[in-house]
Every structure is written in structure tokens, then in C-alpha cells.
């Protein structure tokens, strides 16, 4: 089932979109040399920039290829805004019109509140928080807003409404912003309610949950036992009462497909325009991929999308890669519709060597894992995850972006053709750089020796953990005959994440890693252990609202592992909660013994998975991963909030510009610059990439 929590790790049918543990990666300053990593800070958000190392060294054709793909990645921006909520474009364009033309006082507190609201809307691609989905509450009054509205000239308001509709538009925008009872939640997941009627997202209109579920169940049934089914409903809106597109109008629900000439056609045409440019400078393999993507955008036929995915996943050699399309379904409470997203990237050769070594030794890791031999895979194939440098992020990857991607999502393509897994190192580097000196470690890490190790090896430890988790962890082990893998039900994903994390934790502390040249010493592992246990037992609570328990799968898995190790090692004082001056600290006293505990738990969690032992899986997660100690929680929140850290982060893109030769007029280079502010970038994107009507 879809889940909108893009920033943390999310599992949907084995596909992973994972992100930084934001708690220890945030600050408001940060800096190295004259490169400013953190460029804006408001509410619970910080905006950073990322570097694109290696871009300058690419050849002109490669740079151009990235440039064209980047334009394609930005051209679909408005699609996501409209998908999130059908008033988002009206709100954004009205606010931007005010921001551009307001001639009154820009130094007042109310203006500052207006500006913060606009920054939040930009960050969330709409009026609902990008993570929680709750509608924003403005920090300024409706009366102040009326004064702002009165000052906006017609030409600064959304292009496609006539002056006569001004009052109507502004009334609607005002209502959306100020009436808390209207559209309170983007995606409602509460069982027992009609999830479509109670969610503000724009994937369905005039259709009940039961009708939508029946519609897609019927469609799947009509497909019979097709071993290669399309991703039903992925690229369309399900509606029944939109006469603009209904020809002929039907009473029964029907789909409006997102394609050239269809819904969102104007933006899709722009995407196709840039893809065609990219096609001209692409290599042979990528010509084929781009061609199939263009074909899909033209027809809207999901068979074409599958053909594109197969071509894409089989290309593991190309230096430059990209994602562009309707991909993840976390924004749909029914988990069917794909939100539009894009990114452009190229291989980080040096870091990819690291994942290659891990992958090449996959069998050794499997054979030596501390699980019962019958639960091990006889023949294991490591996923060759590549490490990439991202050049542009767009759509649902912007500004909040995942640090890794594992695609495609279609089960049968993964089964028959495999999947591509990437970690995005220049984004994780930016998080690390931006977090330097934010005071987090000084506040939560008691011992100087641990802080030193984290400073020195924290980044490497974190990256290696991710590599081991992705390349080996998820792919290790096997089910015993008769077990299907679905037995663990609602605990399945937390148990699965535990398994992958434990695999990573166990092997990051193996001397084999030193032997393979992946780490200089086990100090890398001890840095990771100290961070992981502190996070699982304590600091990740900073993300939870008082009174709530741990709900998100990855947070549950981290707490479950840390808590289990804490309790299991209690007699030997392996992990200790030290209280000093009224502050609690998590300290690992015996790293070697902790590794043994990790191995022991890996054996048990693998058994639970292999045997499909629902009761044991439930007990492990419920007993160790869910409950929150309210006193500790309150303490963490207080200490965390005192640091004024932002729990959520995102990024502006670098800016790419074509450089022309003065004599010939031909393109001689693509220049990358990093000096655009958050507001400037958002205003520029709003101006240059607004291809859709305000109402679609």
C-alpha cells in the first residue's frame, strides 16, 4: 500500500525509495570553504544545495545530454502539483503573483509569515505538508491576505482565467488557505473511512473507494492470468464527471489518461520536446530507451511503459541515466496512481567500485552469514547497485529527494529482467556537509571517542551500511518450501527492513571488509554501531509527535533492533543508558559483544522470515519496535528542539546554461552554477516551467 513518506525508507512490493535519517543530518548553518550547503531555513524545513562533482570533466555531448534531460526533468513540475491537489496551481500562481508585484511593506511580520507560507507551499509542491500530508496553517490573517489580493493586478494572476473570474478565483484560493475543515489531508490512510472522499489528492474525482477498487479489480480480472500484467491505472485519473474530456460522457467511472493530447498533455509535450533533443545526442542503447519513453508518453499505453522499463533496466552500462515518468504510488491512498517524478544522473566511478566489490563477494557473505544453513541461498546474486551523482531532480523528487532508488516497480519486470538500484552519493554528501557543526553530536553523544569516530568515519559507515543493506541484505536468505513471503502481513515490511539492516550491521563489522579494502579499520563499524543504537533507542523519537507510538516501518525496525540488543545485552552492560545532568545518553560499552548480538538476532529474524512465523514477527516488532517511553520522548524533543534543527531537508538544483561560441554561434559548453537562492529558483521555475492550465 502506498505511503507518502518519501524521505524515509519506504518499501512497496520490494521496491525501495529510501532516505537519510534526517534527525542527525540537519542544521541551519553548515559550510565548507565558500560553498554554502544550507541556503534557507523555515518552519521544520531546511533547504540545501548539492554539488555535481565530475560534471565539468564530462565531454560536450554528455553535458548536452544531461542538459536536455534536465530540461525534461523540470518540464513536468506542474503535473505533480495538480496531482497532489487540484487547487495547488491556483494557489501557487496567486501567491507568486502577489510575491512578484506587492508594493507594500516587505519588512512587516505579516509579510514574513506570508513568505514562510509560500516557501512551505513550494517545498511541498502544494498546500499539504510533503511528509505528514496535513494542510498548512497560514501564519497570517485572512484580512491581511485580502489586502495583498487587492493589490495584485490581473496580469499577475493565473494566466488562463479571464478578468471576470477574478473574484471567483480569489475566493476559492482564500477558502483553500484559510478554511481548516476543507481538504485537511492529502492522503488519508485511516481504515474504515472512504479513503478517496477523505483525501485531497487529485487521482480520483466523483468516484468512491469501493467503485475505484472494483474498477481496478475488474480490470485485473479481465487480464486473466497474464504473467506480465501492466501496472493497471498507473497513468490516469479515474473520474466520471469531467465533461471536458468525456467523449462520450459515461455514467460509469472511466480513466482520463495522462499523455500527449490527453490530460497533462501540454506539459508532456514539453517533456517529449526535450527528450527528442536528448535523443539526438544519445548513444545507441539510450536512443532505444528514449524512443520507447517518447512512444509511451504519446500513446499513454502501459504496454509501452513496460517496454520502456525493460529497455531501461537492461541498460547497466550507460554512464548517464535518468528517471522520467509516473512512477511511485505513495500519493494515492489506494496505491495505484503514479506521481510524476524525474531525475538525471551519471555514474560515480570511484564509489561504484565499492558496491562492485560487495556484489562480487556476495556468495562469501551469504555462506558465512550467522543464520541456519537451510535458510541461506545456495546461489546468491548480489545486486550490482551503482553509486550515482545526481545532476537534476524534478517532480516528486524535488526539493525533498530520496538518497537511493530501486526501480522498476512492476513485479514481473523485476522477476524476469531484474532491477536497478542506485545510491545517490552527492546528496548524502550534501546532507553530511550541511550537518557539520550543527551541535547534534555534542548534545546527544556522550563520549569524545565516539564523536571522533563519527566525525571521521560516519559518512563512510553510513554509505557502507546502505550498500550492504541494498546490494546484499534484501537479496539474502531463502524461504522454506511452502512459505510464500506474505505470512507476516502488516509486520512484513518492518521485519524485512530489520533483516536487511541486521545483515548490514553484522557485516560492516567483519574483518573481511578490511581485507577487501572497503574500510581502513573496524572503527568505521563502531562509528556506525554507536550512531545506529543512539538513533534507534533515542534520537529518532524527535520525529514523532508526543503521545504517538512508532508507526513507520523503518523507524520500527531500527527501534526493534536497538531495543532488542539493549535488553539482551543488559546483563553484560553491552549498551548502557547513562544519565548525566538530567540528560540521557546511549553508550555502547562492548562493540564486539554487540556484533555477536546482531548476529544472533539476524539468525532469528531470518528464521521468522524463512518460516513465515507471524506470531514471532509480530512479537518482535510489537515488543521492541513500537512503544515509546513518554519521559524519554519528551526529553529528546526538548533537547532536539533547543538545537533548532530542521527535521526535514530538501535541495535546490544547480543551474545549467548553454555557452555559445561567439564566432560560430554553436554550443561550446554547458556551464553549471550553484548560486541561485531558494526563492529565486522557485520563482524562475514558476515562470519558465508552467505549462499546464490552472485547472486541469
Alpha-carbon distances of 579 from 552, 575, 582, 583, 586, rounded to whole Å: 28, 13, 6, 5, 9
Q: How far is the CB of 18 from Zn ion (least distance, A)?
A: 6
Interface residue with Zn ion among 500, 550, 605, 670 (CB under 5 A) is 500
- Region binding Zn ion by CB under 5 A among candidate stretches 161-169, 371-379, 403-411, 495-503: 495-503
Of 399 and 475, which has the nearer Cβ to Zn ion?
A: 475
Of 557 and 696, which has the nearer Cβ to Zn ion?
A: 557
Of 354 and 465, which has the nearer Cβ to Zn ion?
A: 465
Q: How far is the CB of 497 from Zn ion (least distance, A)?
A: 5
- Asked if omega into 26 is within 30° of 0 (cis), the reply is no
Three-point CA angle 652, 653, 655, nearest 5°: 130
Of 354 and 469, which has the nearer Cβ to Zn ion?
A: 469
CB 342 within 8 A of CB 293: no
Question: Residues 313, 317, 319, 324: what is their CA dihedral angle, to the nearest 10 degrees?
Answer: -10
Of 268 and 500, which has the nearer Cβ to Zn ion?
A: 500
Q: How far is the CB of 424 from Zn ion (least distance, A)?
A: 15
Query: Residue 613 has which C-alpha cell?
Result: 512465523
- Distance, CA of 292 to CA of 30 (rounded, Å): 43
135 DSSP 8-state letter: B
Q: How far is the CB of 627 from Zn ion (least distance, A)?
A: 23
Q: How far is the CB of 474 from Zn ion (least distance, A)?
A: 6
Residues 316-355 that bind Zn ion (CB under 5 A): none
Strands 386-395 and 420-424: parallel
Q: How far is the CB of 10 from Zn ion (least distance, A)?
A: 9
The residue sitting closest to Zn ion, measured at its beta carbon, is 500
- Distance, CA of 451 to CA of 64 (rounded, Å): 43
Query: Residue 152 has which C-alpha cell?
Result: 495584485
Contact string (CB under 5 A) for Zn ion, positions 453-492, x = contact? ----------------------------------------
CB 609 within 8 A of CB 497: no
CB 371 within 8 A of CB 602: yes
Of 504 and 646, which has the nearer Cβ to Zn ion?
A: 504
Residues 130-159 that bind Zn ion (CB under 5 A): none
Q: How far is the CB of 335 from Zn ion (least distance, A)?
A: 18
The candidate with the shortest Cα–Cα distance to 654, out of 38, 235, 51, 44, is 51
Of 500 and 601, which has the nearer Cβ to Zn ion?
A: 500
Q: How far is the CB of 9 from Zn ion (least distance, A)?
A: 6
Of 16 and 681, which has the nearer Cβ to Zn ion?
A: 16
3-state class (DSSP) for residue 232: coil
Q: How far is the CB of 554 from Zn ion (least distance, A)?
A: 8
Of 133 and 402, which has the nearer Cβ to Zn ion?
A: 402
Of 454 and 500, which has the nearer Cβ to Zn ion?
A: 500
Phi, psi (rounded to 5 degrees) for 161 = -120, 145
Query: What is the SS3 assignment for 440-459?
Result: HHHHHCCCHHHHHHHHHHHH
Return the number of other C-beta atoms located less than 10 Å from residue 152's C-beta: 19
- Region binding Zn ion by CB under 5 A among candidate stretches 374-382, 455-463, 496-504, 581-589: 496-504
- Region binding Zn ion by CB under 5 A among candidate stretches 290-298, 418-426, 499-507, 567-575: 499-507
Of 80 and 383, which has the nearer Cβ to Zn ion?
A: 383
- Distance, CA of 122 to CA of 125 (rounded, Å): 5
- Region binding Zn ion by CB under 5 A among candidate stretches 440-448, 500-508, 531-539, 601-609: 500-508
- Distance, CA of 540 to CA of 548 (rounded, Å): 13
- Region binding Zn ion by CB under 5 A among candidate stretches 358-366, 416-424, 498-506, 559-567: 498-506
By CB under 5 A, the count of residues binding Zn ion is 1
Output Rg (C-alpha) for the chain, integer angstroms. Answer: 25
Q: How far is the CB of 11 from Zn ion (least distance, A)?
A: 6
The candidate with the shortest Cα–Cα distance to 551, out of 120, 132, 135, is 132
Q: Which residues of 546-566 are buried (b: 16+ CB within 10 A; e: fewer)?
A: eeeebebbbbbbbbbbbbbbb
Q: How far is the CB of 421 from Zn ion (least distance, A)?
A: 10
Residues that bind Zn ion (CB under 5 A): 500
Amino acid at each position: 500500500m502506498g505511503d507518502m513518506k518519501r524521505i524515509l525508507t519506504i518499501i512497496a512490493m520490494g521496491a525501495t525509495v529510501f532516505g537519510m535519517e534526517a534527525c542527525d543530518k540537519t542544521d541551519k548553518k553548515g559550510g565548507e570553504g565558500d560553498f554554502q550547503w544550507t541556503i534557507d531555513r523555515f518552519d521544520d524545513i531546511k533547504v540545501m544545495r548539492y554539488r555535481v562533482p565530475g560534471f565539468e570533466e564530462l565531454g560536450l555531448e554528455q553535458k548536452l545530454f544531461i542538459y536536455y534531460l534536465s530540461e525534461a526533468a523540470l518540464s513536468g513540475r506542474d503535473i505533480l502539483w495538480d496531482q497532489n491537489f487540484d487547487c495547488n496551481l491556483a494557489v501557487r500562481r496567486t501567491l507568486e503573483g502577489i510575491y512578484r508585484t506587492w508594493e507594500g511593506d516587505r519588512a512587516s511580520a505579516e509579510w514574513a509569515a506570508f513568505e514562510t507560507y509560500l516557501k512551505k507551499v513550494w517545498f511541498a509542491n502544494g498546500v499539504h505538508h510533503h511528509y505528514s500530508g496535513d494542510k498548512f496553517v497560514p501564519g497570517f490573517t485572512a484580512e491581511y491576505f485580502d489586502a495583498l489580493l487587492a493589490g495584485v493586478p490581473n496580469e499577475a494572476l493565473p494566466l488562463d482565467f479571464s478578468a471576470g473570474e477574478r473574484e471567483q478565483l480569489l475566493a476559492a484560493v482564500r477558502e483553500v488557505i484559510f478554511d481548516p475543515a476543507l481538504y485537511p489531508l492529502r492522503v488519508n490512510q485511516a481504515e474504515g473511512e472512504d479513503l478517496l472522499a477523505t483525501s485531497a489528492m487529485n487521482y480520483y474525482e466523483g468516484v468512491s473507494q469501493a467503485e475505484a477498487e472494483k474498477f481496478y479489480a475488474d480490470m485485473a480480472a479481465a487480464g486473466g492470468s497474464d504473467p506480465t500484467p501492466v501496472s493497471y491505472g498507473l497513468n490516469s485519473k479515474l473520474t466520471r464527471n469531467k465533461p471536458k474530456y468525456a467523449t462520450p460522457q459515461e455514467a460509469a467511472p472511466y480513466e482520463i489518461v495522462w499523455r500527449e493530447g490527453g490530460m497533462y498533455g501540454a506539459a508532456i509535450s514539453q517533456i517529449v520536446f526535450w527528450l527528442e533533443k536528448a535523443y539526438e545526442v544519445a548513444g545507441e542503447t539510450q536512443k532505444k530507451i528514449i524512443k520507447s519513453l517518447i512512444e509511451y508518453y504519446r500513446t499513454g499505453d502501459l504496454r509501452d511503459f513496460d517496454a520502456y522499463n525493460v529497455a531501461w533496466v537492461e541498460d547497466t552500462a550507460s554512464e548517464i541515466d535518468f528517471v522520467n515518468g509516473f512512477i511511485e504510488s505513495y500519493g494515492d491512498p489506494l496505491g495505484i496512481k503514479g506521481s510524476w517524478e524525474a531525475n538525471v544522473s551519471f555514474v560515480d566511478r570511484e564509489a561504484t567500485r565499492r558496491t562492485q566489490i560487495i556484489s562480487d563477494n556476495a556468495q562469501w557473505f551469504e555462506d558465512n552469514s550467522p543464520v541456519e544453513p537451510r535458510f541461506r541461498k545456495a546461489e546468491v546474486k548480489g545486486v550490482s547497485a551503482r553509486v550515482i551523482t545526481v545532476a537534476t531532480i524534478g517532480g516528486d523528487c524535488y526539493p525533498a529527494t530520496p538518497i537511493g532508488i530501486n526501480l522498476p516497480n512492476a513485479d514481473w519486470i523485476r522477476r524476469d529482467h531484474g532491477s536497478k538500484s542506485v545510491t545517490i552519493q552527492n546528496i548524502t554528501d550534501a546532507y553530511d556537509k550541511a550537518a557539520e557543526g550543527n551541535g547534534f553530536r555534542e548534545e546527544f553523544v556522550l563520549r569524545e571517542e565516539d564523536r571522533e569516530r563519527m566525525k571521521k568515519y560516519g559518512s563512510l559507515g553510513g554509505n557502507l551500511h546502505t550498500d550492504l543493506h541494498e546490494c546484499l541484505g534484501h537479496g539474502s536468505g531463502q524461504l522454506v518450501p511452502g512459505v510464500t513471503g506474505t505470512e507476516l502481513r502488516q509486520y512484513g515490511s518492518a521485519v524485512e527492513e530489520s533483516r536487511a539492516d541486521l545483515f548490514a550491521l553484522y557485516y560492516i563489522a567483519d574483518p573481511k571488509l578490511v581485507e577487501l579494502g572497503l574500510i581502513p579499520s573496524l572503527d568505521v563499524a563502531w562509528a556506525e554501531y554507536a550512531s545506529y543504537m543512539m538513533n534507534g533507542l533515542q534520537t529518532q523519537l524527535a520525529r514523532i509527535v508526543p503521545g504517538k507510538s512508532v508507526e513507520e516501518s523503518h523507524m520500527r525496525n531500527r527501534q526493534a533492533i536497538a531495543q532488542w540488543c539493549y535488553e539482551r545485552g543488559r546483563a553484560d552492560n553491552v549498551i548502557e543508558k547513562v544519565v548525566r545532568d538530567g540528560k540521557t545518553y546511549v553508550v555502547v560499552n562492548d562493540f564486539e559483544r554487540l556484533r555477536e548480538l546482531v548476529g544472533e538476532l539476524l539468525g532469528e529474524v531470518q528464521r521468522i522470515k524463512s518460516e513465515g512465523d507471524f506470531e514471532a514477527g509480530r512479537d518482535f516488532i510489537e515488543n521492541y519496535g513500537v512503544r515509546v517511553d513518554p519521559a524519554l520522548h519528551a526529553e529528546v524533543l526538548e533537547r532536539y528542539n533547543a538545537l533548532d534543527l530542521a527535521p526535514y531537508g530538501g535541495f535546490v538544483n544547480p543551474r545549467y546554461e548553454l555557452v555559445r561560441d561567439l564566432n560560430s554561434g554553436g554550443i561550446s559548453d554547458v556551464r553549471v552554477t550553484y548560486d541561485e537562492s531558494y526563492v529565486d529558483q522557485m520563482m524562475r521555475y514558476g515562470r519558465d516551467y508552467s505549462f499546464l492550465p490552472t485547472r486541469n
